Amino acid sequence: MQGLVDLHIHSNKSSDGSLSPFHIVQLAGETNLEAISISDHDTVAAYPQALQFGEEAGVEVIPGIELTTLFDGREFHLLLPFVSWKKKIIFKLIAQASKKRIAEAKERVRKLQEIGFDISWKEIAKDSKFTPPLGVTIAQVLLRKAERKKSPAIKKYFNGTSPDFAPYLFYEDYFVKGKPAWVPKRNMSLLDVLKVAPETEGVPVLAHPGAYFQKTSREDLAILKESGLEGLEVYTSYHDPSQTEFYKKIAEELDLVPIAGSDFHGKIKPHIPFGSLKEGQYWMVEELRKRKK
């Protein structure tokens, strides 16, 4: 019997991941995952180490990345399993994404400073290992510092709330559109990325289409399919059963490979235990491989 697969896992090479590629591969072996893809945010820094660890542990590691893009004014995340991670085009895309994400993060920090929070860009950059920090990463650093100083402005995030969820509550209060530290998205165009995706040798798969910040419609997916999209993350921690069925049906109608990805991050997403997603089957890997350019 073939083992399970998880094609969307984050390591500590992402600003918001907590486990090393070595520990992820070890966990994959312990939980009988046959294949995984470490798909960090806008970086392939987990490779080649993750591939070596996979060979040693008997776990197939599929090179991947999660690119932050913009489509129709919304942030969309694009997975590229089977990406040729050494290619110049990948580092060009990473440089573009990083530049835009850093500009966005710096503006978030500036707005927080204007509100009165004691936080600096230097602190954020250091804590995020000098990779472009996400909003929850900024919130995590700020809350940790404010808690040490017993700041009254953050007291509510720790009264009766698990500290692990506090960064998400802060994000909702400050970084969502219409909130005090919201900034417009500056990500690179998803359609532009899909145009050059064949050069990366990765298979374009849209991550968590039902996520609150994407709200992907059938019309969106029809356009993206025409532009080169090959797969859809149907089974994910972001979807409830009705969303799973909705996107499964669309994947069938549009001939998109349905895949499973937990979006595991570790400490920053404690509600997603490693190996908790059970829908991933190896045939998904085989179907994606057929679509590889």
Name the pLDDT band for 130 (thresholds 50, 70, 90).
low
Per-residue pLDDT of 143-185, as tens digits, reads 988 777 677 778 888 776 566 778 888 999 999 989 999 999 8
Residue 190 has what pLDDT? 98
> Is the model's pLDDT at 32 over the cut of 50?
yes
Q: Quick one: pLDDT at residue 127? A: 81
Residue 283 and residue 6 in contact, taking contact as beta carbons nearer than 8 Å = no
DSSP state, 211?
A: S
Nearest of 82, 123, 62, 76 to residue 227 by alpha carbon: 76
Summarize the confidence of residues 19-44 as an average pLDDT.
96
Report the Cα 171 to chain-centroid distance in Å. 16
Summarize the confidence of residues 32-49 as an average pLDDT.
96
Share of the chain above pLDDT 70, in %: 97
Task: Please tell me the predicted confidence (pLDDT) of residue 152.
Answer: 79
pLDDT at 1: 44
Kindly state the helix (H) or strand (E) to which residue 254 belongs, with its residue range: helix 241-254
| pLDDT tier for residue 221 given thresholds of 50, 70 and 90 | very high
pLDDT at 255: 98
At 196, the pLDDT band (50, 70, 90 cuts) reads: very high
- Residue 59: closest CA among 20, 13, 21: 21
Mean pLDDT value across the chain: 92
Write the pLDDT tens digit of every residue in 234-255.
Answer: 999 999 999 999 999 999 999 9
Question: How much is the pLDDT for 237?
Answer: 93
Take residue 286 and report the two structure tokens written for it.
């085989």
**Residue 209 and residue 216 in contact, taking contact as beta carbons nearer than 8 Å:** yes
Residue 37 has pLDDT above 90, yes or no: yes
pLDDT at 233 > cutoff 50: yes
φ, ψ dihedrals at 51, nearest 5°: -65, -40
Q: Is the peptide bond before 167 cis (omega within 30 degrees of 0)?
A: no
Q: What percent of the chain has pLDDT over 90?
A: 77
pTM: predicted TM-score of the whole model, two decimal places? 0.91
Residue 293, both tokens: 């350019």
What is the per-residue pLDDT for 160? 63
- The helix/strand/coil state of 206 is strand
Write out the E strands in the chain: 4-9, 33-38, 60-61, 66-71, 74-79, 188-189, 205-206, 231-236, 257-261
Compute the average pLDDT of residues 84-101: 95
Q: Residue 79: name the closest of 200, 168, 185, 184 by CA.
A: 200
C-alpha–C-alpha distance, residues 93 and 91, integer Å: 5
The answer regarding whether domain 4-95+187-291 maps to CATH 3.20.20.140 reads yes
Domain ranges of the chain: 4-95+187-291, 101-174
Cα dihedral value 279, 48, 46, 99, nearest 10:
-120
Tell me the backbone φ, ψ of residue 80, rounded to 5 degrees.
Answer: -130, 70
SS (H, E, C) 156-189: HHCCCCCCCCHHHHHHHHHCCCCCCCCCCCCCEE
